[in-house]
Structure 1
Amino acid sequence: MADSNEKLFSDFSPVGTDQWMEKVTADLKGADFEKKLVWKTNEGFKVKPFYRMEDLEGLKTTDNLPGVFPYLRGTKKDNVWKVRQNIHVDSPKEANAKALDILNKGVDSLGFSIKGKDVSADYIETLLNDICADCVELNFSTCQNSVVKLAQLLVAYFEKKNYDATKLQGSINYDYFNKMLTKGKEKGNLIQTAKDLIEATKSLPFYRVITVNALSLNNAGAYISQELGYALAWGNEYLNLLTEAGVTATIAAKKIKFNFGISSNYFLEIAKFRAARMLWANIVSSYCPVCTRDCSNTAENDECRCAAKIKIHAETSTFNLTLFDAHVNLLRTQTEAMSAALAGVDSLTVTPFDKAYQTPDDFSERIARNQQLLLKEESNFDKVVDPAAGSYYIENLTASIAQQAWNIFLKVEDEGGFHAAVKAGTVQADINQSGKARHIALSSRKEVLLGTNQFPNFTEKAGEKRPVANKCCCGGDSNSCESTIAVLNSDRAACEFEALRLQTEAADHCPKAFMVTIGNLAMRQARAQFSCNFLACAGYEVVDNLGFETVEEGVKAAMEAKADIVVLCSSDDEYAEYAVPALKAVNNRAIFIVAGAPACMDTLKAEGIENFIHVRVNVLDTLKEYNAKLGIK
């Protein structure tokens, strides 16, 4: 069989890149290759339509092995990750019962969010009762004023239970800068709290207690290179401050954990996590961490390579979650989970699909868990390390994202470091500008959010569902809190479309849009489908039709159907014949729209036709205008 295969491949002569380009150029029939087929990403670099082995030449990323510095292919030699579920603790007894239940359903990493005022020895004892702390990863979040106390209580609890500290894994979420970014407040003594945390957990070598919550950037709409670049500067600031304060680089690096978000850009997300490991390893290496124990994983001068291993927790984004057609969120989070799992993260949280409009229920939490278990137990994603390795495409994406992220990192360093940049608001301004650009792209469908700005569910009603407001530390709306520093805008991508659709749903009368289809069969059907999808984004009732013999017949049917909007659907050439008679037939009894951008548009506008919908129209602004004309507020 081997000989047969070898003979088979030898029958095909090799095809060079020049030959491929000749074929592509011929098929383009004069169209510009760069404009037609080369994609410029939001991250600022270009992606070619095809890659070949020669595109790997000079890339150092292909020389790496799993578990070997600089860890581009993974910090370990397997691809096992921990399935994490977060629990907001109101009652320690109830949270304990829930934790024990989900541990029996496939979870092996727990994230407890505890109110600072509740932190006490009895509280921890009740919360962790019967949970085998050396069999599961335990992660804790509380207010900044209580993190040291929490750490001390956890250590005391573990000692009381006689746990082997070397078998305990987990984290305490202390992130001074995230509070500045999301709340606009700078509170407490960063260095002293961080040092006290490290001192309190010195007996827990595998507990990470300084966190880089780059997830906040992702949820604010950051581009991938921005999230990575700022995360690296964020982590480096902690390293720099701690080492200046007397903490060794080895200990400081081993206490830092990164929480990244995951967007739906599948291949770029895989590349992001690969680049993150490599870049962070090189940053830590520049601090020359010295190995403090007998370990073979050292470089020259006893430089500790273990300290350069990044610890990554990933969480699917909330930026692209939607209230309408919410089950599409399952497709988004599944794709996101796949990219993170293939990229080799250490732990993963899948956000329940209903989080945009309610506190996730048992059903949505169960589905979120099972999404990961499906990847593990049925798809065997944990059995292969870095399957993207050697891919011409992903290796080039990794190098490109690494370069873009590194440029951002250097820019922040030139500005005086991450702390100074956040205090000045330059980080927030950059991310918010990207978020705004993405909202604009969504409004014009340059970026697609399925079920929201493209192919909405025509008949769906929100009912009692309403968007969940961003919660603040004080328990109110985050936008109402006083702040002294600029904050990130974490409005979801769909929020403006949802507000428009909820506005329509709350109106006394749901507008009806009637398709007057006439003329060329293919064009009228295509235009009608486009128009139905366009107008349904506002929650309008849409009525499609097979076709009419005359525009007068079509308009008559529309008026009998009590249409509020009449859409003429035909071919560009035929609009010169049909559009003006249709406008006159409507006679201001409804909003009249022409579907398309015909060459005779200026002539039609001169005849009084105001409304045209086509691919270059801003969907959101146009629908807002129609709502205003219909008296919907």
Structure 2
Amino acid sequence: MTADFPAADRAQWRALVDKVLKGADFERRLVRTTYDGIPVRPLYDIDETAPLRAAAGLPGSAPFLRGATAAGTVAGGWDVRQRHAHPDPAIANAEILEDLERGVTSIQLRFDRALAAGGTTPDGIVAYDLAALERTLEGVYLDLAPVGLDAGARFAEAAELLLALVERRGLDPAAVRADLDADPLGALAQGEALDPAAAHDRALVLARTVAARWPQVGAFLADGRPYHAGGATEAQELACAVASGIFYLRALVEAGIPAAEAARQIGMALAVDADFFLGVAKLRALRRLWARVLEVAGTPEAMRRLRLRAETATRMFSRRDPYVNMLRSTVATFAAAAGGATSITVLPFDHALGFLPDAFARRIARNTQLVLREESNLGRVIDPAGGASYVEALTDQLAKKAWALVQEIERRGGMLAALRAGWLQALVAESWAERLRQLATRREPVTGVSEFPDLYEEPRRGAPLPDLSALVADVRARLGNPTPTPSSGIAAIPAHRLAEPFEALRDRSDAILARTGARPRVFLCNLGRLAEFTARATFAKNLFEAGGLETVASEPIASLEEIGHAFKASGARLAAICSSDENYAAMAEGAARALEHAHAARIYLMGRPEEERRAAYEAAGIDEFVYVGSNVLEMLERAYETLAGEAAA
């Protein structure tokens, strides 16, 4: 049938597009740029990406861009991993068994490190001895359900406990699969107290133990997630993971461990957020980059396959309207699966709220994966994104950007030296600052927070923690007063969430509500007929309520005499004029004077007037012009400053 249609070329397509654009700039309207400076075009030709598809090879073969095995994940789908962090080992055990019975295939244990550092509130499973870990994993078949450890600076102690537990149960070391996840660099980047030299020695001891007896156990994790949480771009996260892997690989080889065995012991982890195509391309690019590193290191091709773990990104989660996080996690999980992750962890949708997940949150987390894997059959498709021109081009560009950063890190002495110098922290901070600029202008929207906020949502309540005083007292008595670890001198990379700045404004609104019984309000002065003001009034309501300012809309105002009475009746101290440009020319100055006479503390005009009109509007009393692309965060901050000044007066 396609033969019946004439062939089309890019020139014809572009001519049709230009006709629709009617003179508008093609690059500005239809080409977006990622935070790494990669242009994303609306059309990719199959012919232009033919060399990339040829270089990608076949699934299961070098450079492993299309997956670690020829069959993809079709043998059983990817590993469905669930995170567990309840401080009480008995409760953690009950939750682990429930998840395993309902479809989870492996578990991730977050070990407490707060008590060991002198804290009083645990931040993970309180397992400081073999008996506590035994209680946590009672009934778990360790030769069937792989266990991953998340212990930060306590990586050596946690690994020793898990291996000791396996030996106590008399299991065959060759049959046990586990991820010990020693990652001193990641712990340092997150600000944990750690002596780099001592951690290096303990990690090498662990590597030798694993090499001698545990052929299916991974000892090291090169983790990109701390950098992603700090605001890193996709290429920066890739570079940090690869450079960390190079650091560990070099240390193991220098300690006498063969390169092939060293490569086997190193896994990698990335955060995946709701940008689907960037998530897919990022995972594919990492396999290509690591395969190249191992090729240079002289490892056999069969050992260049990467154990690649993906986790839903903490950066994309919001505290406000947390149910939207379910949608974000679904997109991220889809991207991780399409990108070929061997293991995926979906964080609970209420993770950002700071309390431990209940049964419902854990169920949603595991079912997000199970629906995609078992019902949508995504796990039965080999490299589902492979061959798509856009994905292949994006993968290639990301890999090149990341490789240039890896080379720069190596020129600076490697990952540890880059962290010690603060260069990497500054790089990530600069990327976060750029994200903040995009958030402030709402070019990067956060649904349910900066866009479509629900000012009256009912907050989600977490289940109260049980009394942990006896558990904490017992550990404190055995640990004694911890010896402070000398400062590493390495600045931590603070974790951020995209929703934070708007949530901070909503918190201020909540505080005012608790103190006075009412939220701060903005009066929407709607001039003219419904059709003339609805668009800008809707824009204003969405914008002000994103910052916690309740909007009170007027009825359609046809005469200026109505404005003062309507404003006073609203109970607002701020006012926003909403209408068409034509109505502004006829009524905006009079409306501003009426609002000023009614003692409005700050007056906004929704829209961007021409320069010749701006001075007249300002002279009439308009304080600020609000339009698409203006800095919303700064505008909202000024609104709260105005209200605070009035309250103080």
TM exceeding 0.5: yes
Normalising by the residue count of structure 1, what TM-score does the alignment of the two structures yield?
0.90
Are residue 50 (structure 1) and residue 55 (structure 2) matched? no
Question: 1:389: which partner in 2?
Answer: 386
Contact 2:85-2:356 at 8 Å conserved across structures: no
Q: 1:368 aligns with which of 342, 365, 368?
A: 365
Say which SS state the counterpart of residue 85 (structure 1) adopts: strand
Question: 1:494: which partner in 2?
Answer: 499
Contact 2:227-2:237 at 8 Å conserved across structures: yes
| Correspondences of 1:253-272 after superposition (within 5 Å) | 253-272=263-282
Q: 1:159 to 1:619 in 2, by over 3 A?
A: same
Q: 1:311 aligns with which of 307, 322, 336?
A: 307
| Correspondences of 1:259-298 after superposition (within 5 Å) | 259-289=269-299
Contact 1:218-1:263 at 8 Å conserved across structures: no
> Hey, what's the Cα distance between the residues in 2 that align with 1:197 and 1:277?
25
- What's the offset of the Cα at 1:114? 2.8
Are residue 403 (structure 1) and residue 413 (structure 2) matched? no
Question: 1:573: which partner in 2?
Answer: 582
| Correspondences of 1:401-550 after superposition (within 5 Å) | 401-460=398-457, 462=459, 484-507=489-512, 508=516, 509-519=518-528, 521-545=530-554, 547-550=556-559
Say which SS state the counterpart of residue 203 (structure 2) adopts: helix
Q: 1:31 to 1:231 in 2, by over 3 A?
A: same
> Hey, what's the Cα distance between the residues in 1 that align with 2:140 and 2:131?
15
- What's the offset of the Cα at 1:491? 2.5
Q: 1:559 to 1:442 in 2, by over 3 A?
A: same
Q: 1:83 aligns with which of 80, 84, 90?
A: 80
**Greater Cα shift, 542-551 or 573-582:** 542-551
Q: 1:318 to 1:152 in 2, by over 3 A?
A: closer
Say which SS state the counterpart of residue 538 (structure 2) adopts: helix
Are residue 333 (structure 1) and residue 335 (structure 2) matched? no
Are residue 598 (structure 1) and residue 609 (structure 2) matched? yes
- What's the offset of the Cα at 1:444? 1.5
Task: Output the aligned Cα RMSD.
Answer: 2.2
Q: 1:11 to 1:561 in 2, by over 3 A?
A: same
- What's the offset of the Cα at 1:382? 0.5
Say which SS state the counterpart of residue 551 (structure 2) adopts: strand
> Hey, what's the Cα distance between the residues in 2 that align with 1:281 and 1:23?
43
Q: 1:628 to 1:333 in 2, by over 3 A?
A: same
Question: 2:472: which partner in 1?
Answer: none
> Hey, what's the Cα distance between the residues in 2 that align with 1:184 and 1:428?
15
Contact 2:56-2:63 at 8 Å conserved across structures: no
- What's the offset of the Cα at 1:608? 2.8
Say which SS state the counterpart of residue 320 (structure 2) adopts: coil
**1:503 partner letter:** R
> Hey, what's the Cα distance between the residues in 2 that align with 1:531 and 1:445?
13
> Hey, what's the Cα distance between the residues in 2 that align with 1:409 and 1:382?
32
Question: 1:244: which partner in 2?
Answer: 254
- What's the offset of the Cα at 1:35? 2.5
- What's the offset of the Cα at 1:81? 0.8
Q: 1:537 to 1:450 in 2, by over 3 A?
A: same
Contact 1:85-1:369 at 8 Å conserved across structures: yes
Contact 2:522-2:573 at 8 Å conserved across structures: yes
Contact 2:222-2:244 at 8 Å conserved across structures: yes
Contact 1:263-1:336 at 8 Å conserved across structures: yes
- What's the offset of the Cα at 1:311? 0.9
Say which SS state the counterpart of residue 250 (structure 2) adopts: helix
Pairs aligned (count): 597
Q: 1:461 to 1:543 in 2, by over 3 A?
A: farther
Q: 1:157 to 1:69 in 2, by over 3 A?
A: same
Are residue 556 (structure 1) and residue 565 (structure 2) matched? yes
Question: 1:299: which partner in 2?
Answer: none
Q: 1:447 to 1:560 in 2, by over 3 A?
A: same
Are residue 21 (structure 1) and residue 18 (structure 2) matched? no
Question: 1:468: which partner in 2?
Answer: none
Question: 2:635: which partner in 1?
Answer: 622
- What's the offset of the Cα at 1:96? 2.2
- What's the offset of the Cα at 1:527? 0.5
- What's the offset of the Cα at 1:341? 1.1
Contact 1:178-1:216 at 8 Å conserved across structures: yes
> Hey, what's the Cα distance between the residues in 1 that align with 2:620 and 2:488?
53
Q: 1:323 to 1:151 in 2, by over 3 A?
A: closer
**1:419 partner letter:** L
Contact 2:56-2:65 at 8 Å conserved across structures: no
| Correspondences of 1:142-161 after superposition (within 5 Å) | 142=151, 144=153, 146-161=154-169
Q: 1:554 to 1:232 in 2, by over 3 A?
A: same
**2:19 partner letter:** A
Are residue 589 (structure 1) and residue 584 (structure 2) matched? no
Q: 1:426 to 1:523 in 2, by over 3 A?
A: farther
**1:170 partner letter:** A
Question: 1:294: which partner in 2?
Answer: none
> Hey, what's the Cα distance between the residues in 1 that align with 2:456 and 2:90?
43
- What's the offset of the Cα at 1:499? 1.5
**2:209 partner letter:** A
Are residue 182 (structure 1) and residue 190 (structure 2) matched? yes
**2:386 partner letter:** A
Q: 1:24 to 1:463 in 2, by over 3 A?
A: closer
> Hey, what's the Cα distance between the residues in 1 that align with 2:387 and 2:285?
14
Contact 2:552-2:570 at 8 Å conserved across structures: no
Contact 2:86-2:356 at 8 Å conserved across structures: no
Say which SS state the counterpart of residue 348 (structure 2) adopts: coil
Are residue 98 (structure 1) and residue 95 (structure 2) matched? yes
Question: 1:296: which partner in 2?
Answer: none
> Hey, what's the Cα distance between the residues in 1 that align with 2:579 and 2:156?
69
**Greater Cα shift, 183-192 or 389-398:** 183-192
Are residue 320 (structure 1) and residue 346 (structure 2) matched? no
> Hey, what's the Cα distance between the residues in 2 that align with 1:313 and 1:503?
38
- What's the offset of the Cα at 1:226? 0.8
> Hey, what's the Cα distance between the residues in 1 that align with 2:311 and 2:255?
32
**Greater Cα shift, 45-54 or 598-607:** 598-607
Q: 1:224 aligns with which of 226, 231, 234?
A: 234
Contact 2:520-2:572 at 8 Å conserved across structures: yes
Q: Unaligned regions of 5+ residues in structure 1, if any?
A: 1-7, 290-303, 466-473, 475-480
> Hey, what's the Cα distance between the residues in 2 that align with 1:589 and 1:447?
35
Give the % identical residues: 33
Question: 2:469: which partner in 1?
Answer: none
CA offsets 1:240-299 (integer angstroms, 9 cap, x no match): 12212212111111111112111221101100101111110111111112xxxxxxxxxx
